[in-house]
Every structure is written in structure tokens, then in C-alpha cells.
Amino acid sequence: MATAVVEPGERETYLNREYGIKSWLLTVDHKRIALLYLAGITFFFFIGGFFALLIRLELLTPAGDLVQADTYNKLFTMHGQVMIFFFLIPAVPAVLGNFLIPIMIGAKDLAFPRINLLSWYLYIIAGALMLYTILAGGVDTGWTFYVPLSTEFLKTNVITAAVAVFISGFSSIFTGLNFIVTIHRMRAPGMTWNRLPLFVWAHYATSIIQVLGTPVVAIAIVLVALERLFHLGIFNPTLGGDPLLFQHLFWFYSHPAVYIMIVPGMGIVSEVVCCFSRKRIFGYQAMAMALLGIAVVGFLVWAHHMFVAGISVYAALIFSLLSYFVAVPSAIKVFNWTSTMYKGSITYQTPMLYAFGFIGLFTIGGLTGLFLAALGIDIHVTDTYFVVAHFHYIMVGGMVMAYMAGMHFWWPKISGRMYPEGWGRLAALIVFIGFNLTFFPQFILGYMGMPRRYWDYSRAPEFQILNVLSTAGATILAVGYLLPMVYFLWSMRYGKPAPDNPWNAAGLEWTIPSPPSTFNFDEQPVVTWEAYNYDEIKGEVPVAQ
């Protein structure tokens, strides 16, 4: 592959340096790998979204009339597995984190570029296996793989789904490992821990969870597969095992996994709020420590998913208490973001609109988490639509909002083109309205007692009206997500060329050209400033046209 394909007069960037399939599939450039991830993640987001739409359509009427019960069970299982393991967990770290962390700390690449590529290949292999599982008839364990249903009773493709999740787990572990080493070892001169952008801190916290938590779910999933294949008795009550042990091992990872999904989003929102308020973050150290606090305390609360599962009363009390501890750093973050806006000079570009959405929806999601941590309430609302609404407020309202904020914020840097601002704002508004219409009714449904994972609720037709609202919201939400997909693709060709720093933002990534060259920096940068030094940046955010 020749390298000299850059036309005379055109600047060489990571995008035009080489062309051809091979130059992408064998790349070790963190920016190109980020784009490879972007392609995979977008693909799986729409697959998972398609399943979600089918679920919502089925629930439009109380009777199970659109699809069969088996099909419905597969739909919600695969919606969960695809969205969690192939979209939510990798999305921000593997796309935006991969692209930005080396640049933000002033490095040429991640510490282990080839392991970074290996992570992507593992992700793709796992994704292919997941697709095979879907095409070969699907799997209906629920994304949680609860035993003994998954080990002894179901006839579907449990093993391939389990292997897919296992492999995607290792992709996630290697990404996290790479980030930790990079942040420790590759910082530019002068880039002290106290000068790191919060985006980097957030990924550092996330990586800790990935490295410590993921192996435990990996072994739990391996044991499920072994038990299914060889009828071991580790989780099987008729052979002396305890099914709750699986739940413990599963949630030891899968609760912290929620923070793998949301914490990088918190990093994005910190960057965006500062930039569009033209302000330093309020309480930098508290924000950084809150991220680490969430990562660590997040490991102490897992059994709050098991309050009615038959665990000991005393364990339930401990886990409920600890669950409230993890709410404190989250509260600090929300208040500090809000305070960052105080006396700022605020503009309402698309990323900021998404950040507003994030703060509001994450607040609601977080506060309803307090309902679930309250033991007495949890008895009633766990395993109902209340839980479904709660975690969608965190994951879709929180994480996806932040992801969209980040995509719009850094799209000029990634692609070298501006997205159309007007369309961007419209899409943000549609997403916000669609989201709330979809998921707010589900809180009420949950308190009314509608259990989750129900295909047919004809015994309780009183649930219908709220389900109709929810389905209506889901279609609006779908439009809101398709729109950016269209105009991002459009902008790659027709968008205005982006300046190096379209937002007049602080941070090393805005000091280099858009799109960056392959090694990011022509010469080793030396950092002499604090993060978010908006007092030293002269201009305001350029007004959109």
C-alpha cells in the first residue's frame, strides 16, 4: 500500500494517509481503530434498536398478537445482550476514548497499539458470534443468563451467546488495560494528574472497573456453559448447587458494568458543560475523586439486584446501606455540573443541549435508583417496569445522551467536517421528547405492578394506555436517532470543513489540526496549563449559522 496518496497541497491526515481495506483492517492507529469501533457500534445500536421497536410494538396491545411468546423472549434477550455488551459498554471508551485519550494526554498513540487492534478483532469476533446466535434462531435466557433456566431448561443457543459475551468481555478488559497503562505511562511532560481532563479521569475509573470486574462475569459465564455441557452441579440446586451463587458472581460484574456505561458519559458532559459555559469545572478535584469513588464503591453494592431473590436479611441490609453510599458521589457530580454553569457565558449548541438532557435525565434515573435501593420499595418494584424505566433513564437518558453530546462535540475533530447545527439541535429535541414519552410512563406501569419481560398482559388491560404512550414515544425516539446517523454521513462529504478548534475549546485535542495527522503531534507538547483554562482562551464559541 503506497503511502504517498495525498494530493499536492492537501495536508496529510490520519484519514487520507493511506487508502484501501488493508490500511484499515491492519491499522494500529488509535484513531482509525476508533472509527472501526464506531462502525461496529453503530451497526449493533441499530440492531438492538430494531429489537426494541418490535418489543414496543408487541406491547401496544395487551394480547400477545404480533409475535409468538418464544420470539418475544428472544427479542428482549437479544435487545439486552446486543445493547449492553456490543453498544453501551464499548461505545464511549472504544470510540471516543480510543480517539481522544492519547491526544488529550499528549501521546502519539495508546501504550499497546496492537493490543488495541486485537480488542477490536475480539469485539468483531464476539459480534459475529452474536449475529450467528441471532440468525441461528436466537437465545431466550434474558441478558442475565439466570440459572437453572439457562443451564437446564432452555433449548436455544445459550452456548454461542455465552461465548460471544465471554469474548466481548476480553475485548473490554484489553481496552481498559490499555487505557490504564496509557494514562500512567504516556502523559506528556507537564500533564500531571491534576491537569488531566475529566474525560481522561472518567476513562481511568472506567478502566479500573473493566479490569477488575469483567473477569468475574467471564468465569461465571464459563461455568454456565460448562454446567450446560457437562451437567456439573455448581449452580444446579438438584445437584447440591446454589443458583444464587451465579447471581452473586454475575452481579459482582454487572452492577459495576452500569458504571462502565455511565462514567465515561460523565467525562463527556464535564468537557461539554465547561466549553459551552466558557468556564473552568466547578470543583475539579471533587469531580475526579467522585469518579474514582463511584468506581470503587460501585463494587460494594451488587446484591441490591437480589433483595427478593432469597438472600439473607442481614446481607440485604448491608447492601442497601452501601448502595446509598454510591449515590453521594453521583449527587456531587450533578450539583457541580450545575454550578459550573453559574455565571458562565452559555450557548446552546447541540452538544450542550444533549448535556442539559443528560443532567436532567441522569438526575431522574439516579433518584429512582434510590427507590430501588430502599428495601421496602424494592420488594414491590423490582422486576417490574419501574426497574426497566430506571435503568433506561441511566443508560439511554444518561449514557446515550452523553454519547451523542460527545459525538457532536468531537465530530469536527474526528471527521474534519462540521455537522449541520440546525438539524443537530432538532434531533436533540426529538430525542429528549421521545425518550421521556417512552420511559416515563414505565415508572408508573412499574408501580402499578406490570412485571418486566411480559409478552402478554391481557389479564391486566389497565396497563394498556401507558404502554401505548410508551410505544408512541419509541417511534419518536427512533426518528431522533436516525436523524444524526443521516446528517453525520451527509456531513462527511458535504459538511463545511472544520477549523482546528471550532468551539474555541480548551484541551490538547483542540491544538492540533482537524482531522489530526497520524502521530497526532508534530512535536512533543509540553503542558503548562490547568485543565479547562477558559480564562486564558480569548474567543467565545463561534455562533452557529
Q: Are the beta carbons of 533 and 455 closer than 8 angstroms?
A: no
How many Å apart are CA 384 and CA 378, to the nearest integer?
10
The three-class DSSP label of residue 92 is: helix
What x/- string results for residues 12 through 41 when contact with other proteins is judged by CB under 8 A?
Answer: ------------------------------
Classify 543 as helix, strand or coil.
coil
Nearer to other proteins, 131 or 331 (CB): 331
Question: Can residue 159 be called a binding residue for other proteins (CB under 8 A)?
Answer: no
Residues 344-403 that bind other proteins (CB under 8 A): 344-348, 356, 359-360, 363-364, 367-368, 370-371, 373-380, 382-384
Query: Of the two residues 23 and 504, which places its CB atom closer to other proteins in the complex?
Result: 504
Whole-angstrom Cα distance, residue 270 to residue 347? 15
Shortest CB 8 distance to other proteins, Å:
26
529 touches other proteins by CB under 8 A: no
Decide: 476 and 430 in contact? Cβ < 8 Å: yes
For other proteins, give the closer residue by CB, 300 or 483.
300
CB-CB contact of 516 with 13 (8 Å): yes
Contact 129, 160 (CB under 8 A): yes
Which amino acid belongs to residue 254? S
* Burial degree of 102 (CB within 10 A; 0-12, 13-18, 19+): buried
Closer to other proteins by CB, 10 or 523: give it: 523
Nearest C-alpha neighbor of 407 from the set 17, 28, 14, 34: 34
| Candidate segments 86-94, 274-282, 486-494, 501-509, binder of other proteins by CB under 8 A | 274-282
What residue ranges in 72-224 does DSSP mark as E strands?
none
Considering the rule CB under 8 A, would residue 468 count as an interface residue with other proteins?
no
Q: Could you tell me the smallest distance in angstroms from the CB atom of residue 464 to other proteins?
A: 12
Site for other proteins contains 513 (CB under 8 A): no
**In this structure, what are the phi and psi dihedrals at residue 255, rounded to the nearest 5 degrees?**
-75, -55
CB 111, min distance to other proteins, A: 4
Q: Choose one: 1-9, 32-40, 87-95, 222-230; the region binding other proteins (CB under 8 A).
A: 222-230
What is the residue whose three cell numbers read 463527556?
Answer: 268
Angle at the Cα of 297 from the Cα atoms of 293 and 300, rounded to 5 degrees: 175
Rule CB under 8 A: say whether 522 interacts with other proteins.
Answer: no
Q: Which is nearer to other proteins, 362 or 481 (CB)?
A: 362
For cell 462475569, the residue is 217
The reply to whether 511 sits near other proteins by the rule CB under 8 A is no
For the bound state, the minimum distance from the C-beta of residue 369 to other proteins, rounded and expressed in Å, comes to 10
Site for other proteins, residues 74 to 133, rule: CB under 8 A: 106-109, 111-113, 115
- Under the binding rule (CB under 8 A), the answer on residue 542 touching other proteins is no
Give the shortest CB-62-to-other proteins separation in angstroms: 10
Look up residue 94 and give its DSSP letter: I
Q: Which 190-209 positions form the footprint of other proteins (CB under 8 A)?
A: 190-193
Q: How far is the CB of 255 from other proteins (least distance, A)?
A: 11
- Would you say 44 or 299 has its CB closer to other proteins? 299
Is residue 65 a contact residue for other proteins (CB under 8 A)?
no
Which cell is 307 given? 433483595
Closer residue to other proteins in complex, CB, 495/507: 507
When binding is defined by CB under 8 A, the residue of 24, 46, 283, 504 that contacts other proteins is 283
Return the residue of 237, 422, 461, 542 that touches other proteins, per CB under 8 A.
Answer: 237
Q: Does 504 bind other proteins (CB under 8 A)?
A: no
Q: Which is nearer to other proteins, 293 or 495 (CB)?
A: 293
Minimum CB distance to other proteins smaller for 180 or for 478 = 180
Asked whether 362 and 394 are in contact (CB, 8 A), the reply is yes
Distance CA(140)–CA(49), nearest Å, equals 17
Helix (H, G, I), strand (E, B) or coil at 497: strand
List 230, 493, 522, 545, residue binding other proteins (CB under 8 A) = 230
Instruction: Give the H/E segment covering residue 112.
Output: none
Report how far residue 17's alpha carbon sits from residue 131's, in angstroms, rounded to the nearest whole number. Answer: 33
Considering beta carbons, is residue 43 or 146 the nearer one to other proteins? 146
d(CA 509, CA 530): 14
54 binds other proteins (CB under 8 A): no
CA distances from 136 to 77, 86, 144, 340 (A): 14, 18, 20, 51
